[in-house]
Amino acid sequence: MATSLHQKGEDIVNDGMDIALVCYTPETGILEYAGAFNPLILVRNGTVIETKADRFAIGRSTGKEKAFTNNEIKIEKGDAFYLYSDGYADQFGGPWGKKFKTSVLKEKLAAISGLSVEKQREILDTAFEEWKGDQEQIDDVLVIGRLMA
């Protein structure tokens, strides 16, 4: 049995992890992004630009090696970028007990992208708790953002 996400050999383990990674180089203004199911959201002048993730997780043994796409994005002053786990959008709640949805999260990120990180966190926390209401939280929730000055 495999003991880590770096699985090789005869055992086929159908378990993996969704992830997103970024690396920003200030000297070039280039942000590099690679993702396993988790996209990168860039908000530029109020418009959401989504860089899609590869549609496979890390560590899942399929018998074939897969390479992740390295995306390079030229960052402009005033851009904001976000990474998030699926827990926020997948949370059940609201008046009909439905999922929050990724499209609604992206709209909210676009609306708050110019605010301070403290205010953004407050708005996202409040929106999540109000949506969740009395429902049980179903997954981990993580939203990471950065406003590029």
| CATH superfamily membership of 19-147 | PPM-type phosphatase domain (3.60.40.10)
Beta strands in the chain, from DSSP E residues, in sequence order: 19-25, 30-36, 40-44, 47-51, 71-74, 80-84, 92-93, 98-99, 143-147
Asked if residue 45 has pLDDT above 70, the reply is: yes
Q: Where are the domains of the chain?
A: 19-147
pLDDT at 2: 46
Q: What is the DSSP letter of 115?
A: S
CA–CA distance from 50 to each of 41, 101, 137, 143 (Å)?
A: 5, 15, 26, 15
Token pair, residue 91, equals: 């949370």
| pLDDT tens per residue, range 57-98 | 877 655 677 788 999 999 999 999 999 999 999 999 999 999
Percent of the residues in the chain that have a pLDDT greater than 90, as a whole number? 73
- Strand-pairing partners, residue 76, are none
Examine the pLDDT at 23 and tell me if it is beyond 50: yes
> Mean pLDDT over residues 10-38, rounded?
85
On whether the CB atoms of residues 30 and 69 are closer than 8 A, the answer is no
Q: How confident is the model at residue 1 (pLDDT cuts 50, 70, 90)?
A: very low
Q: What is the pTM assigned to this prediction?
A: 0.82
